[in-house]
């Protein structure tokens, strides 16, 4: 974390207390050079581009939460503009207007545009790559278009590793659909993008391979039929791409599977829609294949298949017939999406910002904050770590009932704050509650201190 802060994991195997020396990627502002930035991001298994852009944004405009979120919102609006250009190139201006409206109203696109994550930038760059391929197909070979394709493809890979799930299908489309010269230019652009990515970030990808396995643990399959669950999620995903929810552990009704057949029918009837069909089906099928092959459940998380959403919106816009009838399906879909827009603004379920401000008000700057991991305060360790990125407040995470060794590593002199739903004195034998933080009440937070050794209660034999 920041140079004046410390985060400690308590009760790790063999060590009792393990220093958390792998900073989150939003702490890149504390890194001074490329090597430090690389190491900071290797620990969290993310490529660097979004975080470097975010660093410059925060340097210029400040690091308040609303300003950090504003970057994603602006990138999402820019992605809509590039998406319009790409659809207009392949399907015409009318379809482009409808498709852009549908994408702008889709619940996942709105929800992710409100978060300080890399997905809006990823969507912008991938739409740039799609626009370059569409122009190579419609207008013929051009070094400028090929350069744009290579630059956006490389930047997308440097934004999120899951860009490969979109770039792979796009490369296959270029291989089989473009003319000879355009095909050579497109494939050369993809090859150059891969070479630059590997040269710039390949060593860090290799270093992060074990971290990637550890970070994917939470996406492990649940239940005895992971393949069946993956197929069920695959069937329901088209509806979730438009209407949400952005997280769904249990698959819903399988009727949206018909949208895949609709997509193939549109692509068969309208050649300009084939690029969007490849993007839509290719992204979802790629992630589903990984889930089946590795017994994971990445289809649960809608952001991992977000690049498929523009493809679906373009296909719906292209589904109409001739004349005024071509507006019926896009208009009805837009009305349905507009009715579901409030779902992109869910009510806050954890007032962790108010809680963190209350702790700041009551706690002295040097008093540590101890968080428990296995109850409703579990998400606080991540959010508090970012909140306290520039505050000299040590953080400790208890992963289970602390051992004597772990307890001995907590401050034995002075006070500290404990956030837990368990009985605080039972959780930390030998410590006493000085007072409780009254508001906000969730999670319960206590000012604690250890009793002197002579007065500490002894355990029975």
Task: Write out the chain's pLDDT in tens, 461 residues.
Answer: 333 334 444 433 332 333 333 334 444 444 445 556 666 666 667 888 998 898 889 889 887 778 888 999 999 999 999 999 999 999 999 999 999 999 999 999 999 999 888 999 999 999 999 999 999 999 999 999 999 999 999 999 999 999 999 999 999 999 999 999 999 999 999 999 999 999 998 888 888 777 666 666 667 666 667 888 899 899 999 999 999 887 776 666 778 888 899 899 999 999 999 999 999 999 999 999 999 998 888 998 999 999 999 999 999 999 976 677 789 999 999 999 999 999 988 765 456 667 777 887 888 877 888 877 554 444 555 555 555 544 446 777 776 666 665 666 676 667 888 888 788 888 888 889 999 987 655 678 899 888 765 444 444 33
Segments making up each domain of the chain, as ranges: 7-22+349-453, 49-214+223-344
Neighbours of 371 (CB within 10 A): 26
Measured CA to CA, the distance from residue 398 to residue 387 in angstroms comes to 19
Backbone angles phi, psi at 152, to 5 degrees: -70, -35
Closest CA to 292 of 227, 218, 225: 227
Helices (H), 258-351: 258-269, 274-294, 308-317, 328-340
Q: Which H helix or E strand runs over 396?
A: strand 395-398
* Helix, strand, coil shares, percent, the chain, to 5: 65, 10, 30
Measured CA to CA, the distance from residue 129 to residue 151 in angstroms comes to 8
CA distance to 246, 264, 294, per residue, from 289 (Å): 20, 19, 8
Residue 234's pLDDT is 92
Closest CA to 302 of 110, 169, 155: 110
Query: Token pair of 95, please?
Result: 């379809």
Measured CA to CA, the distance from residue 120 to residue 28 in angstroms comes to 19
Neighbours of 379 (CB within 10 A): 13
Closest CA to 135 of 169, 85, 206: 85
Query: pTM value?
Result: 0.78
Tell me if 258 sits within 8 A of 315, measured CB to CB.
Answer: no
Measured CA to CA, the distance from residue 316 to residue 238 in angstroms comes to 11
């Amino acid at each position: 974390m920041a140079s004046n802060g410390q985060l400690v994991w308590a009760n790790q195997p063999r060590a009792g207390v393990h220093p958390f020396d792998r900073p989150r990627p939003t702490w890149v502002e504390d890194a001074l050079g490329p090597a430090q930035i690389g190491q900071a991001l290797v620990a969290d298994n993310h490529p660097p581009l979004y975080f470097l852009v975010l660093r410059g944004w925060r340097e210029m405009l400040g690091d308040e939460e609303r300003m950090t979120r504003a970057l994603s919102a602006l990138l999402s609006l820019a992605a809509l503009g590039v998406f319009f250009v790409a659809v207009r190139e392949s399907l015409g201006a009318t379809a482009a207007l409808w498709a852009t409206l549908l994408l702008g109203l889709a619940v996942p696109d709105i929800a992710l545009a409100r978060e300080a994550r890399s997905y809006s930038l990823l969507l912008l760059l991938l739409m740039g790559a799609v626009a370059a391929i569409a122009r190579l197909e419609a207008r013929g070979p051009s070094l400028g278009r090929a350069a744009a394709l290579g630059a956006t493809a490389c930047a997308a890979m440097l934004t999120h590793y899951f860009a490969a799930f979109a770039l792979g299908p796009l490369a296959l489309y270029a291989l089989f659909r473009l003319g000879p010269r355009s095909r050579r230019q497109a494939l050369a652009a993809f090859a150059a993008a891969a070479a630059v990515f590997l040269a710039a970030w390949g060593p860090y990808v290799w270093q992060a391979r074990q971290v990637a396995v550890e970070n994917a643990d939470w996406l492990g399959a649940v239940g005895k039929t992971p393949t069946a669950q993956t197929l069920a999620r695959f069937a329901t995903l088209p509806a979730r791409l438009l209407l949400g929810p952005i997280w769904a552990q249990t698959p819903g009704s399988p009727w949206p599977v018909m949208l895949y057949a609709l997509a193939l029918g549109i692509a068969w009837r309208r050649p300009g829609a084939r690029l969007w069909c490849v993007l839509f089906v290719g992204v979802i099928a790629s992630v589903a294949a990984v889930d089946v092959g590795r017994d994971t459940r990445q289809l649960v998380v809608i952001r991992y298949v977000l690049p498929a959403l523009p493809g679906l919106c373009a296909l719906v816009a292209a589904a109409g017939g001739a004349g005024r009838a071509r507006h019926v399906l896009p208009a009805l879909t837009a009305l349905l999406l507009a009715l579901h827009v409030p779902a992109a603004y869910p009510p806050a379920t954890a007032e962790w910002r108010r809680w963190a401000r209350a702790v700041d008000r009551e706690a002295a700057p040097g008093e540590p904050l101890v968080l428990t991991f296995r109850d409703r305060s579990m998400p606080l360790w991540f959010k508090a770590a970012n909140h306290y990125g520039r505050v000299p407040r040590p953080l400790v995470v208890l992963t289970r009932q602390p051992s004597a060794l772990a307890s001995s590593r907590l401050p034995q002199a002075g006070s500290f704050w404990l956030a837990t739903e368990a009985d605080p004195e039972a959780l930390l034998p030998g410590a006493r509650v000085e007072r409780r933080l009254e508001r906000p009440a969730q999670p319960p937070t206590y000012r604690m201190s250890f009793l002197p050794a002579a007065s500490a209660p002894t355990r029975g034999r």
